[in-house]
Structure 1
Amino acid sequence: MTITQPPRDTASRIRDVLARLDEEQDVWVSTADTAGAPYLVPLSFLWDGTHLWLCTRIGNPTGRNLSDGGRARLALGHTRDVVVLDGEVETYGPKEVPTEVADGFHAKTGWDPRGSGPAYHWFRVRPTAVEAWYEEPELVGRHIMRDGAWVEAP
């Protein structure tokens, strides 16, 4: 895919990212353990308008890293249409997740982790930085959120 349009302005990029967060079902989740060893997996997610909600077993590398490290880098898209989000993570036990989140996650993904046992924990990711770009012409202006605030109001 080659982008032939002029680079999008910040407001357009923010609108596009918000639409993708509503529509897409899976996100790449990058974490690191306490020694700094990286780990990357795809997980299903729910966007609630402010946070991304993930669910995985607390005992696997991603669950441990999310819980212990409190940070993650998430990525949507392929190499020519990129969204990268850095965020702060809060961990919720299986009985602590808000019902509307678990119900929304189930409706969006078709999977209800509440029926998968107590090993599945929930992770709420608050974006603190977001970058979005189509190919090289959009590298300038790719930072659309900094310090948890959109560069321009969506």
Structure 2
Amino acid sequence: MTAPGAARGAGLAPPRDLAQRKADVLGKLASERYAWLATSGESGAHLVPLGCVWDGARLVMATQERHVTIRNLRKDGHCRVALGDPTDVVLIDGAVDIVAHQDLPADAPPVLADLPVNPGRVPGCVYLFLTPRRVLTWRHRGEIPDRTVMSDGRWLA
């Protein structure tokens, strides 16, 4: 009998269960400070690296109001964010709310001050609040079949 996962490649670590994958994603969200943000617009796909922080429910980034990223998000408020490297991938799809610094609620999370480009200090910048709707994660091809850990905004574990 062939060992589970052997057909997908020798020497791979056993696939993580959903609970471990969720925990690993939350750990990465808490520690990562940069992400790749992909939007789509009239000129096609647009991909940029942005500083980010996790506020416990949303991934928060910031950029200049005048950039293509903002134009694309104002037309279609959905995007994809990529974290990690090819051996520890996290992809997040969701909707983005664009918020000017002066429009932040009084109870805005203190973690926003940790953004490298902070709209409170950089004129012309706005916050991007990404609420995850779908999260995919994998470390090797043996984990790809069960890569979805969040669907329709709900964690699967």
State the TM bucket, normalised to the shorter chain.
0.7 to 0.9
The one-letter code of the counterpart of 2:38 is S
Which consecutive residues of structure 1, in runs of 5 or more, have no partner in the other structure? none
Show the counterpart of 1:8. Answer: 16
Determine the C-alpha separation between the residues in 2 that align with 1:61 and 1:100.
29
Cα pair 1:81 1:133 within 8 Å, conserved: yes
Determine the C-alpha separation between the residues in 2 that align with 1:63 and 1:24.
22
Determine the C-alpha separation between the residues in 2 that align with 1:111 and 1:30.
18
Show the counterpart of 1:82. Answer: 89
Determine the C-alpha separation between the residues in 2 that align with 1:37 and 1:104.
33
Cα pair 1:82 1:132 within 8 Å, conserved: yes
Which consecutive residues of structure 2, in runs of 5 or more, have no partner in the other structure? 1-9
Show the counterpart of 1:65. Answer: 72
Give TM-score scaled by structure 1 length.
0.88
Aligned residues: 148
What stretches of structure 1 move > 3 A for 4+ residues in a row? 98-103, 109-112
Determine the C-alpha separation between the residues in 1 that align with 2:110 and 2:129.
15
Cα pair 2:51 2:116 within 8 Å, conserved: no
Residue 57 of structure 1 deviates from its aligned partner by 0.7
Identity of aligned residues (%): 32
Cα pair 1:67 1:90 within 8 Å, conserved: no
Bigger radius of gyration among the two = 2
Determine the C-alpha separation between the residues in 2 that align with 1:36 and 1:86.
20
Cα pair 2:57 2:131 within 8 Å, conserved: yes
- Tell me whether 1:144 sits opposite 2:149 in the alignment: yes
